[in-house]
A and B are shown apart, each in its own frame.
Chain A
Amino acid sequence: MRHVSKLFSNGTLALKDMSLDVQRGEFLSLLGPSGCGKSTALRIIAGLGAPSSGTIDWPSSQISKKGLPEGDVGFVFQEPTLMPWQTVWGNVYLPLRLRGVSKADANPAIMEVLASVGLADFTKSYPRELSGGMKMRVSIARALVTKPKLLLMDEPFAALDEITRQKLNDDVLRLWRETGITVIFVTHSVFESAFLSNRIVVMRARPGQVYADLPLETSAVRDENYRTSEEYRATTDTVSRALQEAIMRGAQAK
């Protein structure tokens, strides 16, 4: 995505004059203390609730009549947000179904995306039969089935245990590299953002604003070794300090 800038401020000042350019193919983390408006920002980008002022500019070729790049955005919520009455297959089918794609036409795309998150054998399972991590995989598969150009993730792994979360982080990175998709990832975990992103935007609260914009260009392959590397440690150090300052600013404003 080129030339994407957003400028909005909200009545309750969840966000004040926040501007952000997101480059195509970026893995951008929005990091900040709770209540800093990072989820709000993500929802506005997704078109769930309009900004009270300011605009979101998409590359002009992609704007639909609703002002949204229809089908170009996938969203992963904090909760898996699956329909319990539908199978895994049916849940992933939903975005295509709402566009009027027939089951037969949708099947190849669904099977492909389910295979890519490692759930090819669970198409007929119901959500209640799956573990928390697997439900999240279904949610990611559903977001990817429309082959979006932009994937928005709202603290998707906050409720998962550490081991499952690391595994899913690896998988998200792999999917990002394979598809070349642009990701905006909201998190409150320094380590998660430092491991995943090539750019971290630290936000402060009251009002929600961009506090720091940290590009993370690393040549290192982000695998298990990277988690314990000196470079990773230095990165988390920098990010932690920026976050700490952002929190202090927010507290002073109160």
Chain B
Amino acid sequence: MSDAVAFDKASTEAGTDSQVVIPISRSSVSERVLSIVVPVFMVLLAIAAWQAHIVINQVPRYIMPAPLDVVTALFTDWGTLAPSLLVTLRITVMALAIALVGGVGLAIILVQSRWIELALFPFAVILQVTPMIAIAPLLIIYMPDTQSALLTCAFVVAFFPILSNMVAGLKSVDHNLLNLFELYGASRWQTLIHLKLPSSLPYFAAGLRIGGGLSLIAAVVAEFAAGSAGKGSGLAFRLLESGYRLNYPRLYAALVLLMMTGVAIFALTSLISWAMLHRWHESALKREN
């Protein structure tokens, strides 16, 4: 109600066009409930079908475990799985953090001059196109320990999408706004902080979402290639180990943990980009519908 009063008041002062306030569409409550219920229901249905398949066809546990077996394994093997989950999580989060700092930092340096970009971009591209799984064994040799080798792998993979998105974002600033900043005598630093960084937030959000997913995948794939073992090993090692031992419920439990980690990272990075953009950017607006 207070909104309408505000509009009326302004229209007397500001003329006809001030009445034209573009409404922001909001989906109704029932639609919102449905948009949560439908996907959850479908997932539950798929799990139920899985359970039914195992029970009806009497599939042995060492071929394919039933969902209930997996849940049981999650609890009974938690002592083994939890430390590994933590290891994988730590590598993923650290790799993503370093990739964010490095990607954004290098992007800012790259766009300062065409020559810097020409000099440094080949290295970024070479790092990106080289299959990470092929260099992982080398990194194991060169790095002081397995953990830092895995970290390096995950970092390299997550780094590039963040870098290239940020470079694109920093370059696609509205030219009129750049003129405006020049007109008001803004320093390079002020232009970066108040104009270039905020206007590349949508690109940063895209890089963050891609990089977040990739860093987890890379952390797992690198561990497969590196073949770490014993204490301090991550979920990838638990997958291999359970496979060798034909302990399929535990293997599936490790898979479920990885999957949930991936979903959690996606949800978190989506939430962060929503928080950054929802008030002003088109991409975040459409997500509400």
Contacts and interface: CB of A to CB of B under 8 A. Distances in A.
Interface in A204-240: none
Contact of A47 (B20, B21, B183, B199): B183
A122 B195 CA distance: 22
Count class of interface residues, chain A:
35 or more
A192 to B, nearest CB: 16
Contacts of B185: 66, 68, 70, 98
Interface string B167-193: 000000010110111111110001000
Contact of B17 (A73, A81, A164): A164
A129 B177 contact: no
Interface string A124-152: 00111111111001000000000000000
Nearest to A97: B194
B15 interface: yes
A75 B183 contact: yes
A83 B282 CA distance: 14
Contact of B22 (A73, A84, A120, A131): A131
Contacts of B32: none
Interface string A86-130: 100000001101110000000000000000011111100011111
B289 to A, nearest CB: 15
A243 B135 CA distance: 71
Given A131-B17, A137-B14, A77 B179 contact: yes
Nearest to B5: A121
Given A97-B194, A126-B279, A167-B16, A121 B184 contact: no
A77 B15 contact: no
A57 interface: no
A46 interface: yes
A225 B18 CA distance: 24
B201 A121 contact: no
Interface residues of B, number: 36
Contacts of A131: 17-18, 20-22
B16 A75 contact: no
Interface in A140-198: 163-164, 167-168, 171
A79 B179 CA distance: 12
B24 interface: yes
B280 A133 contact: no
A253 interface: no
A126 B15 contact: no
A81 B177 contact: yes
Contact of A129 (B13, B21, B179, B184): B21
Given A94-B194, A99-B184, A163-B16, 6 more contacts: A78-B176, A81-B176, A117-B14, A131-B18, A131-B21, A167-B16
Interface of B: 6-7, 9-10, 13-18, 20-22, 24, 174, 176-177, 179-186, 190, 194-195, 198-199, 201, 279-282, 285
| Top 7 A-B residue pairs of the complex, sorted by shortest distance between their CB atoms | A118-B14, A133-B17, A131-B20, A167-B15, A118-B13, A81-B176, A164-B17
